[in-house]
Structure 1
Amino acid sequence: MQLTEHFTLDEFTRSTTASRLKIDNSAPDDLMPNVKLTAIKLELVRKALGKPIIITSGYRCPALNARVGGVSTSAHTKGLAVDFKSSFGTPKEICQRLIDAGVQFDKLIQEHNQWVHIGFSPSNNRQIVLTAIKNSGKTVYVNGLI
């Protein structure tokens, strides 16, 4: 199913972990408005970067989210967040470009300098910017870009 010009539902629900563990990661009908909103917002991200983006993790059903170590309140489980990469540049460069371009988001995270997490809210985008780093083997989040 085509959600927007550049994004499909399959991109939002595809998961090698779900396939391997035989977890049905289909987005429920009641979350489809969130998934569509996220796709629309990702078009703005793509436009700001001037490059395609590759979704590495989109919607996650609760079972999949638990298996990948996500928190139970993750925006991924609501269809309101994606992790992605782009040939635009490093995750830090991508985050900085989105901030400079005025892209509206709820939460933007530079994840271990490997990918970008972006989450959206249907009503209140807080513009939270974080960097995920490892501290004694545990992921911690610090304010801003490092």
Structure 2
Amino acid sequence: MQLTPHFTLSELTRSTTAQRMGVDNTPTPKALEQLKRTAQMLEGVRSVLGVPVIVTSGYRGPAVNRAVGGATSSDHLQGQAADIVAPKYGRPYDVAKALVPHINALGIGQIIYEKSGSSEWVHVSTRMPDKPVNRVITIVVGKGAQLGIQDV
């Protein structure tokens, strides 16, 4: 199912973890509606960057979210978030820095530059966090969060 010109339901629900575990990662009807909004936000991200955006993690059903160690309150559970990379643009750090000035226009509620070992990605969500200070942050797995987009 094509959600927007450049994003499909399949790519926003694809999960190697779900496949490996034999778990159905089909979104609920409510999550599907949120995924449509997330895909629209991603269209704007793609437009700002001027290059294709690759979704590395979108919707996660509860079993998949637990298996990947996702937070119990993760926006991925609701279809409100996507982890992305844009290799033709640059490092995820560069992507995050480029998106921050457009956060409101793009409908991004939260942007997180995340790093775990040698892996890095950008988490974008349509949900506005409860604390405005958590809107733009950097998270290094095992080391915690920092305000803003930091080159760590």
TM over 0.5: yes
Give aligned-pair identity as a percent. 40
Matching residue's letter, 1:75: D
Cross-structure match for 2:140: 133
Note if 1:119 corresponds to 2:125.
yes
Show structure 1 runs of 5+ residues with no match. none
Cross-structure match for 1:24: 24
TM-score, length of structure 2 as denominator length: 0.87
Cross-structure match for 2:49: 49
Q: Deviations over 1:86-115 (max 9, x none)?
A: 021111111111112343311111111611
Alpha carbon RMSD of aligned pairs, Å? 1.7
TM-score, length of structure 1 as denominator length: 0.90
Q: Distance in 1 between matches of 2:73 and 2:26?
A: 18
Cross-structure match for 1:91: 92
Contact in 1 for aligned 2:100/2:111 (Cα 8 Å): no
Comparing 108-117 with 13-22, greater Cα deviation is found at: 108-117
Aligned length: 141
Q: Out of 95, 104, 107, which is 1:104 matched to?
A: 107
Q: Distance in 2 between matches of 1:51 and 1:72?
A: 32
Q: Deviations over 1:53-107 (max 9, x none)?
A: 0000000001100000001100000000000110211111111111123433111
